[in-house]
Chain A
Amino acid sequence: MIPELHLPWMELSILITLLGALWVRTIHDRDKAYRSCLLICGLVFLTSICEWIDFESLHAFEARDHFNIFKLLFNKNIFIVDELSAPLLPLAALLYLLTVLSTLKTKGHRFSFSSTLLSESILLATLSSRELWVIISLLSVATILPYLEIRANKRSTRVYVLHMGLFITLLVVGGVLSSFGEAGDLISLIAGAFLTTAALLRSGIIPLHCWMTDLFEKATFGTALLFVAPMTGAYAVVRLVFPIAPDWALQGIALVSLTTAVYAACMTLVQREARRFFCYLFLSHSSLVLVGLEMATPLGLTGGLCVWISVGISLAGFALTFRSIEARIGRISLVEYHGLYDHTPTLAALFLVTGLASIGFPGTVGFIGTELLIEGAIEVYPLVGTAVVIAAALNSIAILQAYFRVFTGARHTSSISLRARPSEHVAILILVALILGGGLYPQPGVTSRNHAAIELIHLRETIFRKSEIDSKISEIDLPESTQPLIGLRQDLR
């Protein structure tokens, strides 16, 4: 019996954003739409925080909503929160809140508030679900909104459509096949391969990463950031692939992720434009998360989950700083030195803090996560740990290079003040507080991620043990009916 939260926090969050999206769509005044969107995002953030606190108070691995409507309608728990997703929901809500908060009013006509709220509801629903088909459907639906925006901007959608089309196809085929397979058999292996490829494609693994740079090129920075920063690709890997993939497959994924991490880190050093630079930086970090997740050892997995949170916070702050600068001087060329420090010293400091946090600089939220990740990697393969260190070193060089290019090296003359607006300042300061707070007092975060890691590994071991027992039984007696993989997962819950 799954324990119940005291209120239906997850359904409430999703409902608020859905209704909010409809309400904001009817508002034509840009300022009012901004304020309304901010209010809704704030409310959702509060409910997600309440959900997290409520969940923590239960001391359980998983919990479901109280007064569960879906349970009444379909006799199924669609929305379940567990130790993995509990902090991801407030993180996602915070990301949306801060993105909206740091949106300048002048950008209102390009950045759609109602679409943002709609995408938030889809994301929250994705992160609240463990059902295969619900995740597949929501991941597929989430790809539509950026497509509509690129099309509205009158830019070519072909790169995005080709990749996302392939992503959806792979997801659906993998989902269908997994319904017929048993854990450990050939069909489930093929299903796992389809699902893995889909999840890796969504995470931007090389050579299937070009959609991501294209998205950052053609959509607004806010939309692109909100599409990639919550790392739903990694979520799909943990939910759909991790429980069924054999060890050798996980190690293969880790190797591909590691290659992407190093390749993307190298590519950051040759980028000429800030968005592409950020995209590669993000790609490198999100691949490092995948490396940790695929280690399948408690330490490596804990490291991966810690880096997931730290990268989510720090790179979101980093991107918001970039976005704030872009709002002032347009697309940022990294070929020239802009010398903006004198105009925006606070943004410069925040840029540096968030950037350094992403590479796991001491005293920031990423430090312990990166240490754990490297230690976990070295436990399995020393060379993998070395590659992770190299990727981190290259990323750190790229970050300081970007800092110098944007803020130093020249005298920027401007007739007007370019200083950070209070709303931007508040948005990034909240993230900096989280970065430094989490960095100086990391124990609760690490403990929570470690619990989640151990539970995930237990779940995986249970599935494989059960599959071994089933195969031994089948050697004696022919099975009367096959046990579908999805059903097996449900039983295990």
Chain B
Amino acid sequence: MNTDAVFHFLGVCVVVSPALLLALFGVTSLMNRPIGERLMAQATQTMVMIGLFASIAVLGLMLSLDIRYVPIELGNWVVIPEQHFHFHLKFIFDRLSIPFCILSFVLCGTIGAFASRYLHREPGYNRFFVCYAIFLLGMIVSSLAGTIETLFFGWELVGLSSALLVAFFHERLNPVRNGMRVWSIYRIADAAFLIAALMLHHLTGAGDFDGLMGTGSWPDGHATISEQHALFVGLLLLIAAAGKSALVPFSGWLPRAMEGPTPSSAVFYGSLSVHLGAYLLLRVSPILELSLTLRLAVISLGLISAIFGTLIGRVQTDIKSALAFASLTQVGIIVVEIGCGLRYIALIHIIGHACLRTLQLLRAPSLLQDYHTLENAIGSHLSQKRPLWVRFMPKRYRIMLYRFELERGYLDILINLLIVRPFMSLFRLCDRLERRWTNFLSGGESRESDLIKPHAETLEEYL
């Protein structure tokens, strides 16, 4: 067996293990034959372990053979030769994808083990693990994607699972509304990503990152498109990254995402999916290099997000929201690092921050308990030092700032006011006009169904 075959086998194992996990959970759920909790936990553990060890083995082999770039070709998923259209299934193991892939397996494995106990006998146990499998597959595909279309594939899977997990406690209204908010913002980000991907495809004639980023493996690639094109495509990718990583002005979804169960908050929104936008920027960093304006935009957005995160995080009254904004601060700094061209530092920052944040979020509920025990023991609240700048700031401005922070920068309100409400008003008006038109044509009321209330079921109906 030669080295290439070993790499191919291990690479396939990395990708196939989460896919098999999803197939097992998905098919049994669709057939209405969900498997038991123990089996689910064991299957998760096994598949994560296979994927993790295979990716570590790939890393070990690469280090021992001094290879920095291993492409795993799975052929064309779809090809139309006459029109030069191909959807190429290619995964790459390089200095960016391997750390991210191993990080995903480690954190997802930890959370899988944690969740199997945390959600024990919870009615949504099966549902959680189905979403978990979708997320894991999405993360692995996104991390290892060798083409921009494959990255989009994984990106979408991550988006769906995230939205569904935010709405996990779905008999309550708030989680559902928050899940919807997350999904809406993700879809805007996805739309920007898709347009950027197609533009890149159009400009370079290929979706492969090799073709897009020129010669040289990450981080030494050099993109070959013009500065204007780089700016246009880069801005679209920045919108996509901002949506996925909850950067300003899309940051409203991050604290909302904490409505989901603690394990999913910890791994998905606290550590992995929140870094996916930064990962995208790292992957396309050769494009950022082409345009100074684009780099400045990236740095500005990162800086604003970091400052915003640290300000808002200070006034949060629940620990998960406070941690969410703390994450945003770090992600903002990571984006600044990417904009400044400090790619390795950004990558190390992502790994360190993801691990720390996962542990913090998992520890959060018990930490609060310990905190209260401590306060009970000393018989008073723990002292809190006010920061220096607060002592010098006039009271009026402190109140204004506090309001601003408490309302999370009025961002959600602004989005609602400037985008959602005018949009809904316009189309509600269209709906009313259509109603009038059909009423006129019908010579009477044409929409009785609006008045019909859902009827209570009667047993006879179903016998």
Question: Which residues does A use to contact B, with CB under 8 Å?
Answer: 106, 156, 158-159, 162, 210, 213-214, 217, 263, 266-267, 269-273, 275-276, 298-299, 302, 328-333, 336-339, 341-342, 345-346, 349-350, 353, 356, 361-363, 367-368, 371-372, 374-375, 378-379, 382, 385-386, 389-390, 392-393, 396-397, 400-401, 404, 407-411, 414-418, 420, 425, 429, 432, 442-443, 446-447, 450, 454
Given known A-B contacts A270-B431, A302-B80, A404-B167, A374 and B457 have beta carbons under 8 A apart: no
B390 at the interface (CB under 8 A from A): no
Query: Would A106 and B179 count as touching, CB distance under 8 A?
Result: no
Please state if A158 and B78 are interface contacts (CB–CB under 8 Å): no
**C-alpha spacing A418/B188, complex, angstroms:** 36
Contact B85 A214 (CB under 8 A): no
In whole angstroms, how far apart are the Cα atoms of A158 and B446 in the complex? 10
Q: How far is the CA of A106 from the CA of B80 in the complex (A)?
A: 48
Does B82 contact A450, Cβ atoms closer than 8 Å?
yes
Q: Which of A337, A356, A368, A417 has a CB less than 8 Å from the CB of B160?
A: A356
Q: How far is the CB of A323 from chain B (nearest CB, A)?
A: 14
Report how far A341 CA is from B454 CA in the complex, Å.
Answer: 16
Q: Quote the shortest CB–CB distance from A260 to chain B (angstroms).
A: 13
A6–B307 CA distance with the chains assembled, in angstroms = 74
The closest CB in chain A to the CB of B85 belongs to A299
In the complex, which of the residues B87, B172, B202 contacts A368, with contact meaning CB atoms closer than 8 Å? Answer: B87
Who on chain B is nearest to A418 by CB? B457
- CB-CB under 8 A from A378, the residues of chain B are 198-199, 202
Contact with A along B173-184 (1 / 0, CB 8 A): 100100110011
Decide if A416 touches B459 in the complex (CB within 8 Å): yes
Whether the Cβ atoms of B427 and A270 lie closer than 8 Å is: yes
Q: Apart from A400-B163, A442-B77, what are 16 other A-B pairs with CB-CB below 8 Å?
A: A156-B443, A156-B444, A158-B442, A159-B446, A210-B434, A210-B441, A270-B431, A298-B83, A328-B457, A342-B171, A375-B198, A382-B199, A390-B191, A408-B167, A410-B171, A446-B80
A339 neighbours in B (Cβ, 8 Å) = 170-171
Can you list the 10 inter-chain pairs with the closest CB atoms, starting with the nearest?
A408-B170, A393-B191, A156-B442, A362-B153, A330-B455, A329-B454, A270-B427, A159-B441, A393-B187, A409-B176
Among candidates B149, B176, B191, B438, residue contacting A213 with C-beta atoms closer than 8 Å:
B438
B176 touches A404 (CB 8 A): yes
Can you list 12 residue pairs at the A/B interface with Cβ under 8 Å? A106-B461, A267-B431, A276-B447, A298-B80, A362-B157, A375-B85, A378-B202, A404-B179, A409-B173, A410-B171, A416-B462, A454-B82
- Total cross-chain contacts (CB, 8 A): 184
Give the contacting residue for A400; candidates B153, B157, B183, B448; CB below 8 A.
Answer: B183
Q: What residues on A are CB-neighbors of B441 within 8 Å?
A: 158-159, 162, 210
B197 to chain A, nearest CB (A): 9
Q: How far is the CB of A454 from chain B (nearest CB, A)?
A: 7
Number of interface residues, chain B, beta carbon within 8 A: 67
The reply to whether B457 and A400 form a contact with Cβ atoms under 8 Å apart is: no
Contacts of A338 in B (CB 8 A): 454
A252 to B121, CA, bound (A): 58
Chain B residues near A361: list those with CB within 8 A.
156, 160
Contact with A along B448-463 (1 / 0, CB 8 A): 1110111101010110
CB proximity of A57 to chain B, nearest CB, Å: 23
Closest Cβ neighbor of A341 among chain B residues: B170
A162 to B446, CA, bound (A): 14
Q: Are A346 and B32 touching (Cβ within 8 A)? A: yes
Identify A396's interface contact among B187, B424, B431, B454, CB under 8 A.
B187
Q: How far is the CA of A383 from the CA of B263 in the complex (A)?
A: 42
Chain A: CB-nearest residue to B463: A106
Query: For B455, what are the chain A residues with a Cβ–Cβ distance below 8 Å?
Result: 329-330
Across the interface, which residues of B come within 8 angstroms of A269, CB to CB?
423-424, 427
Are B170 and A158 in contact, with the CB atoms below 8 A?
no
B462 — which chain A residues lie within 8 A by C-beta? 106, 328, 416-417
Which of A106, A210, A353, A389 is close to B195, meaning CB atoms less than 8 Å apart?
A389
Q: Which residue of A lies closest to B179 (CB)?
A: A404
Residues of A within 8 A of B157 (CB): 362-363
- The docked-state distance in angstroms from the alpha carbon of A9 to that of B195 is 44
Residues 131-151 of B, flagged 1 when their CB comes within 8 A of A and 0 if not, give: 000000000000000000100
What does the 1/0 interface line of B414-433 toward A look like (CB < 8 Å)? 00000000011011101100
Contact A299 B30 (CB under 8 A): no
Does residue B201 face the partner (Cβ distance < 8 Å to A)? yes
Asked if A330 and B452 sit within 8 Å, CB to CB, the answer is yes
Contact between chains at A346 and B30 (CB < 8 Å): yes
Partner of B194, one of A330, A389, A410: A389
Q: How far is the CB of B154 from chain A (nearest CB, A)?
A: 8
CB distance from B121 to the nearest CB of A (A): 16
Which residue of A210, A336, A342 is within 8 Å of B437 (Cβ)? Answer: A210
Q: Which residues of B contact A407 (CB under 8 A)?
A: 170
Chain B neighbourhood of A443, CB < 8 A = 77-79
Bound-state Cα–Cα, A397 to B163, Å? 11
Contacts of A349 in B (CB 8 A): 29-30
How many Å from the CB of A295 to the closest CB on chain B? Answer: 12
Q: When the two chains form their complex, are residues B443 and A158 in contact, meaning their CB atoms are under 8 A apart? A: yes
For window 309-353 of B, CB contacts with A under 8 Å fall at none
Whether B459 pairs with A333 at a CB distance below 8 angstroms is no
B158-172 contact mask (Cβ, 8 Å, vs A): 1 or 0: 001001000100111
User: Which of B153, B194, B431, B447 has most A Cβ within 10 Å?
Assistant: B194
Asked whether B208 is an interface residue with its Cβ less than 8 Å from the other chain, the reply is no
A273 to B173, alpha carbons, bound, how many Å? 19
Any A CB within 8 A of the CB of B289: no
Complex interface: chain A residues within 8 A of B459 (CB): 415-416
Q: Which residues of A contact B442 (CB under 8 A)?
A: 156, 158-159, 214
A302, B457: Cβ atoms under 8 Å? no
**A263 CA to B430 CA, complexed, in Å:** 10
User: How close is B158's CB to chain A, nearest CB, in angstroms?
Assistant: 11
* A429 touching B30, Cβ below 8 Å: yes
In the complex, whether B94 has a CB less than 8 A from a CB of chain A is no
A415 contacts B170, C-beta separation under 8 Å = no
* Bound form: Cα–Cα A437–B202 in Å: 29
Is A415 a contact of B457 with CB atoms below 8 Å?
yes
Q: Is the CB of B180 within 8 A of A425?
A: no
Interchain CB contact under 8 A, A331 and B427:
no
